[in-house]
């Protein structure tokens, strides 16, 4: 007979493989253990930093300006650690190309520094980045920092990117190191005011 | 100025541009078009890569060629390091193969991620590596063991150079800093390298200074003992992905790529002793790579598929 996770923990306690601290009953200990495991999250896969990171990006949640070409994009998410704890105050630096695939190297267009709010939440307004010859996949760079955690360098990709032919799991591309970084895109509103939405949770490893 | 030219007929092609003289040095033959070339430290050999991983090594100035094989994956300009003692090739699979000067494979190292930078110590006793995810790492080549790993605030090391008989390792890190380490991995300094990522650096012949350049398009001269920035040029307007300091004097040449297509955009030339950043009037689209011998900066250019010219800049 196969033991459940709960049964196995009770057995470990009974056999002394798991010892309990003073004042902790087996029932409380097992429930706390299972709760912590349930909350645990996989760290967000890392991706390369470069090549166009620029420090000192302004604090703004609106990256696009009126009249900018490209499909409007809203990205939202939250910052957690691998224990599932929210990380309010985490610093999130983002940078991307404009809709035509150009990075701003002389200024800070499509670059921003955000601070995660209560419950680790963040959001920003931008456009879907363009393609450029050196990279196959559309992407947004993220650099996330929080005290006590390993800095997270990663990138977000778009399920709507033609390179994935509608199915990133079946049609992966070497330019994107993990299908977990490819986010589904939700189109909203009317055709005249259409915009795209995506969510991207950022999970940091503790030091 | 170099006086011994391998091909006297080229003297007629000698051109003076921006006060610099570009002179023929050697002609090389390849089976086909090369993607890029690297002049090995010391200037005695040129390594060229065609296709994904077809590697040729030419002796200078004779032009004798031999083929070096055994590495899978894609080799980029960041994945080649060579000097008089050996050759290291690294690919996007993370495999690094080390050959001795005769071209015999001596060791393999498996890194976690695409190779972003390689550098040989002058005596060939250790190799410095970095991947697109990792800071500098030092490997003892006799044992194949990892000696130490550097650190960054975030991101990877993009450029590595080794000076003072292996006792100083200077790196350009993606977190916009340059760092200096001693042979045992003790961090000697961390210094600002600008607002944007630095991509490459090059040491002066005496090892007292080094030049750094990157996404900003400017070239900065730093003190190698402290990391302190001494001078900085204006921006060329294009990211600089590779540079070399002249073996004599303080001249620097740098390879500019346009930031969209990553196509060659120009070859910048800078004399930190008062000169402005200038553009060398050489067709950058023909440039395969550059480096230096003991006397001059050397350019490697592809005149036509399989027809390679090596030129000195003085």
* Domain-embedded: residue A53: no
Indicate yes or no: CB of A52 within 8 angstroms of CB of B153: no
Domain residue limits at A17:
5-39
**Domains present along chain B, CATH in parentheses:** 15-313 (2.130.10.10)
Confidence of residue B15 (pLDDT cuts 50, 70, 90): low
Indicate yes or no: CB of B154 within 8 angstroms of CB of A145: yes
Q: Report the chain B residue with the minimal C-alpha distance to residue A145.
A: B154
User: Does residue B195 sit at the A interface (CB-CB below 8 Å)?
Assistant: yes
Q: Report the chain B residue with the minimal C-alpha distance to residue A143.
A: B154
* Domain-embedded: residue A145: yes
pLDDT surpassing 80 at residue A37: no
pLDDT surpassing 70 at residue A170: yes
A109 and A160 share one domain: yes
| pLDDT tens column, A119-130 | 999 999 999 999
Categorise residue B141: left if φ over 0, alpha if ψ from -120 to 50, beta otherwise: alpha
User: Rounded to whole angstroms, how far apart are CA atoms B135 and B174?
Assistant: 9
Q: What is the mean pLDDT of residues A28-43?
A: 84
* Domain-embedded: residue A45: no
* Domain-embedded: residue A66: no
A94 and A193 share one domain: yes
- How high is the ipTM of this complex? 0.89
The pLDDT value recorded for residue A16 is 85
A181 and A116 share one domain: yes
Number of inter-chain CB pairs under 8 A, A vs B: 67
The pLDDT value recorded for residue B9 is 32
Shortest distance between the Cα of B133 and any Cα of chain A, in A, equals: 6
User: Does residue A178 sit at the B interface (CB-CB below 8 Å)?
Assistant: no
Instruction: Count structural domains, chain A.
Output: 2
| pLDDT tens column, B228-280 | 999 999 999 999 999 999 987 778 989 999 988 888 999 999 999 888 899 88
The pLDDT value recorded for residue B6 is 32
Q: What is the mean pLDDT of residues B209-230?
A: 96
Query: What letters, b where the CB count within 10 A reaches 16 and e where it falls short, cover B217-228?
Result: bbbbbbebeebe
Q: Give me the residues paired with residue A199 across strands.
A: A76
A146 and A200 share one domain: yes
User: Residue B195 is nearest to which of A51, A56, A134, comparing CB atoms?
Assistant: A56
A35 and A95 share one domain: no
| pLDDT tens column, B123-153 | 999 999 999 999 999 999 999 999 999 999 9
Q: What is the mean pLDDT of residues A197-201?
A: 97
Q: Do A183 and A168 meet the contact criterion of CB atoms below 8 Å apart?
A: no
| pLDDT tens column, B41-52 | 889 999 999 999
Confidence of residue B5 (pLDDT cuts 50, 70, 90): very low
Q: How far is CA A135 from CA A96, A104, A132, A138, B241, in A?
A: 12, 16, 6, 8, 16
* Domain-embedded: residue A188: yes
A100 and A15 share one domain: no
User: Any idea what the CATH number is for the domain that residue A101 is in?
Assistant: 2.60.130.10
* Domain-embedded: residue A91: yes
A86 and A173 share one domain: yes
A33 and A77 share one domain: no
pLDDT surpassing 70 at residue A65: yes
pLDDT surpassing 70 at residue B92: yes
A124 and A198 share one domain: yes
Q: Which H or E run contains B161?
A: strand B157-163
pLDDT surpassing 50 at residue A81: yes
List CB contacts of A190: < 8 A, sequence separation 6 or more: none
Q: What is the mean pLDDT of residues A51-58?
A: 96
User: Rounded to whole angstroms, how far apart are CA atoms A204 and A201?
Assistant: 10
List CB contacts of B197: < 8 A, sequence separation 6 or more: A49, A50, A51, A52, A53, A54, B155, B158, B174, B176, B214, B215
Give the SS3 label for residue B246.
Answer: coil
Portion of chain B with pLDDT greater than 70, in percent: 94
Q: Report the chain A residue with the minimal C-alpha distance to residue B196.
A: A54
A31 and A80 share one domain: no
Portion of chain B with pLDDT greater than 90, in percent: 77
The reported pTM is: 0.89
List CB contacts of A128: < 8 A, sequence separation 6 or more: A70, A71, A73, A99, A138, A158, A160, A196
* Domain-embedded: residue A97: yes
> Which of A43, A45, A46, A49 is the best substitution to test chain B (most B C-beta atoms within 10 A)?
A49
* Domain-embedded: residue A173: yes
Tokens 């976690």 correspond to B112
List CB contacts of B206: < 8 A, sequence separation 6 or more: none
A35 and A76 share one domain: no
Strands A121-127 and A152-158: unpaired
pLDDT higher at B209 or A2? B209
pLDDT surpassing 80 at residue A3: no
A89 and A181 share one domain: yes
Categorise residue B19: left if φ over 0, alpha if ψ from -120 to 50, beta otherwise: left
The pLDDT value recorded for residue B1 is 33
Confidence of residue B4 (pLDDT cuts 50, 70, 90): very low
């Amino acid at each position: 007979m196969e033991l459940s996770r709960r049964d196995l923990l009770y057995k470990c306690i009974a056999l002394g493989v798991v010892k309990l601290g003073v004042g902790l009953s087996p029932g409380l200990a097992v429930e706390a253990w299972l709760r912590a495991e349930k909350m645990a999250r996989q760290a967000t896969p890392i991706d390369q930093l470069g090549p166009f990171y620029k420090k000192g990006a302004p604090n703004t949640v609106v990256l696009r300006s009126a009249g900018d070409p490209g499909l409007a994009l809203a990205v939202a998410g939250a910052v957690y650690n691998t224990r599932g704890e929210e990380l309010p105050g985490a610093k999130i630096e983002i940078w991307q190309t404009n809709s035509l695939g150009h990075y701003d190297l002389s200024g800070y267009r499509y670059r921003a520094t955000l601070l995660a709010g209560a419950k680790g939440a963040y959001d920003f307004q931008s456009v879907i980045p363009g393609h450029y010859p050196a990279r196959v996949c559309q992407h947004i760079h993220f650099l996330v920092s929080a005290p006590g955690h390993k800095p997270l360098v990663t990138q977000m990709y778009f399920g709507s990117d033609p390179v994935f032919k509608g199915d990133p799991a079946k049609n992966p591309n070497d330019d994107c190191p993990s299908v977990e970084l490819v986010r589904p895109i939700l189109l909203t509103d009317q055709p005249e005011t259409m915009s795209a939405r995506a969510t991207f949770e950022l999970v940091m490893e503790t030091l | 100025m170099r006086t011994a030219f391998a091909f006297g007929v080229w003297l007629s092609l000698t051109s003076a541009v921006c006060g610099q003289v570009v002179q023929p040095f050697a002609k090389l033959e390849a089976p086909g078009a090369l993607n890029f070339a690297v002049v090995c430290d010391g200037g005695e050999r040129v390594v060229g890569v065609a296709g994904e991983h077809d590697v040729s090594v030419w002796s200078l100035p004779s032009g004798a060629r031999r083929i070096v094989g055994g590495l899978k994956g894609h080799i980029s300009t960041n994945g080649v390091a060579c000097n008089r003692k050996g050759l290291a090739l690294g690919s996007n699979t993370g495999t690094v193969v080390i050959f001795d000067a005769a071209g015999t494979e001596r060791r393999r190292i498996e890194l976690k991620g695409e190779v972003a930078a390689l550098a040989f110590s002058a005596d060939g006793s250790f190799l410095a590596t970095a991947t697109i995810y990792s800071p500098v790492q030092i490997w003892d080549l006799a044992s194949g063991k990892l000696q130490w790993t550097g650190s960054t605030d975030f991101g990877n090391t993009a450029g590595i150079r080794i000076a003072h008989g292996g006792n100083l390792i200077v790196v350009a890190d993606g977190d916009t800093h340059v760092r200096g380490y001693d042979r045992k991995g003790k961090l000697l300094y961390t210094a600002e390298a600008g607002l944007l990522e630095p991509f490459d650096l090059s040491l002066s012949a005496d090892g007292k200074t080094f030049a750094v350049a990157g996404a900003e398009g400017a070239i900065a001269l730093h003190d190698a003992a402290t990391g302190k920035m001494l001078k900085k040029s204006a921006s060329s307007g294009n990211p600089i992905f590779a540079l070399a300091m002249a073996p004599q004097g303080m001249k620097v040449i740098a390879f500019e790529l346009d930031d969209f297509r990553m196509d060659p955009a120009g070859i910048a030339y800078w004399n930190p002793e008062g000169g402005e950043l200038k553009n060398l009037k050489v067709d950058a689209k023909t440039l395969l790579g550059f480096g230096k011998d003991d006397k001059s900066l050397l350019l490697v250019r592809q005149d036509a598929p399989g027809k390679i010219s090596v030129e000195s800049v003085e």
